[in-house]
């Protein structure tokens, strides 16, 4: 069974001179700067109710000689600026991966196809410029000018749309509010207090979608974030980000993996961010993205959180390799 999303992807990419690989498409970018692939991965999942039919996986390999080498912590700092997926190292090779799950009951096939195609087209060009821009302020300005993307919208999101998003969050029992450029909410990770504004010690995940903070390279768009409380700081913040990204990619039944857990601020605090470039408001995308973050926070709460202690670092540890046969 081929979904409408897959059909739309094939129709769009079939018009371009791309290399056809077994489960998708491959492009070699000019000048040997890297390669990009879009693959449609089958999912073996039975049962009743909505099913994941396949996963769209978009991957870039960065090969440009001018691209400096990143150490593990540097890659996770780069993830604080990522768009269209999470950066990682495979040996010395910088790679980036994004995923979208295709569901049998998907109601917005054109939008999901647009997300996949946009990620495939922009991932390596914008990702490379973002990585190069970490070298200096001068390189940042050079790369920003190279793309020339708009840095603000000509019209704002309507107040009615923002109010409707907050009302939907309130209807689910979540603390939420908004201003003219952002909507934010909190998801309790333990206890019964719904907000840190009531109890500063409440263990809640802070969610936000902001349209007033342009990306350094990609310009205007939607910046979603998820911030955790840290009762106990991770001993290895970079490793925590990398493992959270790995765990998300291993979940076929999950919200889009278009952002990344990365290191933020001078203290290298792990935080999730997802930026979707858009030259103008996209109908209700702020609402969609805040709910994506709420699902992500619920996953953290249900599978990785210990009340009073924070993330269960034992569960973040990679599974041990099976013992060799006797």
Q: Note whether residue 138 is domain-resident.
A: yes
Q: Note whether residue 153 is domain-resident.
A: no
Q: Which of 160, 212, 210 is nearest to 185 (CA)?
A: 210
For the chain, helix (H) and strand (E) counts, in that order, are 8, 14
Q: Are 271 and 226 in contact (CB under 8 A)?
A: yes
Residue 263 has φ and ψ, to the nearest 5°, of: -95, 125
Are 38 and 136 within one domain?
yes
**Pair of tokens at residue 193:** 């207090």
Residue 160 has φ and ψ, to the nearest 5°, of: -65, -40
CATH number, residue 104: 3.30.1460
Are 103 and 190 within one domain?
no
Does residue 193 register a pLDDT over 70?
yes
* pTM across the whole model: 0.93
Are 168 and 243 within one domain?
yes
Q: Are 230 and 310 in contact (CB under 8 A)?
A: yes
Are 165 and 143 within one domain?
no
Q: Note whether residue 100 is domain-resident.
A: yes
Question: What b/e readout covers 121-137, taking b as 16+ CB neighbours within 10 angstroms?
Answer: bbbbbbbbbbbbbbeee
Q: How many domains does the chain have?
A: 2
Q: Which of helix, strand or coil describes residue 119?
A: helix
Least confidently predicted of 17-26, 28-37, 40-49: 40-49
According to the model, what pLDDT value does residue 320 have?
52
Q: Note whether residue 326 is domain-resident.
A: no
Does residue 322 register a pLDDT over 70?
no
Are 11 and 103 within one domain?
yes
Name the domain boundary from 120, 147, 174.
147
Q: Which of 303, 304, 310, 290 is nearest to 204 (CA)?
A: 310
Q: Note whether residue 93 is domain-resident.
A: yes
| Ramachandran bin of 84, using left for φ above 0, alpha for ψ from -120 to 50, beta for the remaining angles | left
According to the model, what pLDDT value does residue 44 have?
76
**Pair of tokens at residue 255:** 């919200």
Q: Note whether residue 296 is domain-resident.
A: yes
Q: Note whether residue 306 is domain-resident.
A: yes
143-156 pLDDT tens trace: 999 999 999 999 88
Name the domain boundary from 92, 120, 147.
147
According to the model, what pLDDT value does residue 315 have?
85
According to the model, what pLDDT value does residue 321 have?
47
Where does the chain show beta strands of DSSP type E? 19-21, 24-28, 34-42, 52-62, 86-90, 93-103, 176-178, 182-188, 204-210, 221-227, 260-264, 269-277, 305-306, 310-311
Does residue 214 register a pLDDT over 50?
yes
Name the domain boundary from 122, 147, 172.
147
Q: The domain containing residue 134 runs over which residues?
A: 4-147
246-278 pLDDT tens trace: 999 999 999 999 999 999 999 999 999 999 999
Are 112 and 234 within one domain?
no
CA distances to 246, 247, 277, 314 from 319, rounded to whole Å, are: 12, 11, 36, 10
Are 284 and 258 within one domain?
yes
Q: Which of helix, strand or coil describes residue 156?
A: coil
Are 196 and 237 within one domain?
yes
Share of the chain above pLDDT 90, in %: 79
Are 36 and 95 within one domain?
yes
With cut-offs at 50, 70 and 90, classify the pLDDT of residue 49.
low
The predicted model gives 78-87 an average pLDDT of 96
DSSP state of 50: S
Are 73 and 201 within one domain?
no
Are 84 and 175 within one domain?
no
Burial grade of 118 (CB within 10 A; 0-12, 13-18, 19 or more):
middle
The predicted model gives 25-38 an average pLDDT of 91
Does residue 45 register a pLDDT over 90?
no
Q: How many CA atoms lie within 13 A of 81 on its CB side?
A: 21
Q: Note whether residue 154 is domain-resident.
A: no
Are 229 and 274 within one domain?
yes
């Amino acid at each position: 069974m081929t979904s409408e999303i897959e059909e739309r992807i094939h129709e769009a990419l079939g018009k371009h001179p791309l290399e056809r690989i077994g489960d998708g498409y491959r492009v070699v970018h000019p000048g040997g700067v890297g390669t990009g692939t879009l693959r449609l991965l089958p999912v073996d999942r039975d049962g009743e109710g909505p099913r994941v039919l396949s996963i769209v996986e978009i991957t870039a390999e960065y090969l440009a000689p001018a691209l400096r080498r990143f150490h593990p912590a540097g890659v996770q700092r780069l993830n604080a600026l990522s768009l269209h997926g999470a950066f990682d190292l495979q040996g010395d090779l910088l790679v980036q991966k994004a995923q979208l799950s295709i569901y049998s009951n998907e109601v917005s096939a054109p939008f999901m196809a647009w997300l996949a195609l946009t990620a495939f087209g922009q991932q390596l060009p914008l990702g490379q410029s973002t990585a190069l821009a970490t070298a200096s302020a001068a390189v940042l300005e050079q790369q920003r000018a190279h793309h020339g993307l708009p840095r603000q919208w000509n019209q704002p999101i309507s107040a009615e749309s923002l109010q409707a998003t907050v009302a939907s969050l309130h209807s689910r029992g979540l603390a939420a509010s908004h201003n003219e450029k952002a909507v934010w909410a909190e998801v309790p990770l333990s206890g019964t207090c719904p907000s840190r504004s009531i109890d500063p010690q409440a263990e809640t995940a802070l969610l936000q979608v902001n349209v007033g903070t342009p990306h350094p390279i990609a310009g205007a768009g939607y910046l979603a974030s998820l911030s955790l409380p840290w009762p106990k700081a991770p001993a290895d913040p970079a490793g925590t980000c990398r493992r959270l990204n790995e765990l998300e990619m291993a979940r076929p039944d999950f919200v889009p993996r278009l952002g990344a857990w990365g290191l933020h601020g001078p203290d290298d605090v792990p935080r999730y961010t997802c930026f979707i470039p858009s030259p103008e408001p996209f109908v209700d995308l702020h609402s969609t993205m805040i709910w994506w973050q709420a699902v992500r926070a619920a996953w953290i709460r249900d599978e990785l959180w210990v009340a009073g202690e924070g993330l269960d670092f034992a569960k973040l540890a990679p599974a041990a390799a099976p013992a060799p046969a006797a």
